Amino acid sequence: MRKATRLLSVVLMLGLLFASGIVFAAEEKVEIKWLMRSNPYENKWQREVVIPKFEALYPNIKVNLIVVPQSDIDPKLYTMVAAGDPPDVFSTWSDAGFNDFHHRGLLLDLTDYVARDLNMNDFVPGVFDIYGVNGRYYHVPQVTNFGTMMTYNKDLFAEAGLSDLPASWDNSWWTWDEMVNYAKKLTKNYGQGLRAQYGIAPQYDVHHIAYLFGADPYLPEHYETGIAPTSNLDDPDVIAGLQAVADLIHVHRVAPTPADTRTLEALGNIFATGKIGMGYSLSTQAYGALQGVPFKWGLAPKPKAKDNKTALYNGAWFISKGSKHPDAAWKLLSYLLTEEAARDMTVATGFLVPHKGAVESWLELFPPVTGMDIESLREAIMGYPEN
């Protein structure tokens, strides 16, 4: 009788629960596709840190990491979109960028997700506004790289009797002409293949060069729309900057020719070969690319010609508008923006997720490899002029 009574009670309870809309079904298992560029330390972080931790938190979500060479990301993305099976999560690490994706209608509006689940005060100021459109957010910040800057080989500087470069962007002596003088003292055996040592590996991106020479190849409205139907490439200062870079090879003979550059690149990162006195990099990239090099290196402002403005690089995460599982994709993005995940990415890759809680621990990565103190690093990395 007691068994029958218990069974009847269970049946009645189940009936009430089903009547009220509560169903005892296992949570649906879904798979989300994460499209990423091929990069050894980034992919190791994704496979060995992010995915195991995330899938432990959300056992009903499987992450399918799709890794392709960086040059193939755009073709892969557009092929998947055309096939009606877009990646659920992707980013700005490709030749195209936010404006291209937005104009094509590929991005899911994440504004409501952001308002519900994120506190913008937890992040470096301004990172949400970089890709904001009329108060709407089609992204969340992925990394902030601050500005491109100079890297320099401290050991080669010491051998040449040169002082370390300044940390402050607001200085009067670190000029383009002084950079050329330094490069001449650092150059040895010019043009002799792997026997050569070069003073500088130039930056060839036209907008970077133009900024230093007080010009801009683009017009203000191009920055607003992301579309440049015209250009300012015939500005005399743009041309002067390009000529100054060419002179580093053909007049001053302190920079490798394109052929010499290819020879050095066959050995890996050109600055990591130890045969370059000065180069240009993002601080995050320098940390990742220069792991284990047998020399001390430093970070410094760009030299001033007419100006020393730099270009900022800030990455973003996106969810495809055609995602079949946008809620699950959002869970991955919101996890990547936690302080724990931000610290994990910093340690594994050197990149800085723009979470305020990760900034100081990120800066602490640099003193052992640069010999620079925290405050000098903070000034060199974050003290660039407004652009």
- Per DSSP, the residues of 33-81 read EEEEE--HHHHHHIIIIIHHHHHHH-TTEEEEEEEE-GGGHHHHHHHHH
Mean pLDDT of 75-92: 95
R_g (Cα) of the chain, nearest Å? 26
| CA–CA distance, 370 with 347 (Å, rounded to integer) | 16
Strands 276-282 and 140-153: antiparallel
CB-CB contact of 110 with 238 (8 Å): no
**Tokens read off for 147:** 């500005």
The set of residues, in sequence order, having a beta carbon less than 8 Å from that of 63 and lying 6+ positions away, is 31, 32, 34, 50, 51, 54, 55, 332
pLDDT at 73 > cutoff 80: yes
3-state helix, strand, coil in the chain (%, to 5): 45, 15, 40
Q: What percent of the chain has pLDDT over 70?
A: 93
pLDDT of residue 24: 38
Phi, psi (5° rounding) for residue 279? -150, -175
Claim: this prediction has a pTM higher than 0.85? no
- pLDDT at residue 22 tops 80: no
Residue 21 has pLDDT above 70, yes or no: no
What is the predicted pLDDT for the residue at 19?
47
Contact between 186 and 197 under an 8 Å Cβ cutoff? The reply is yes
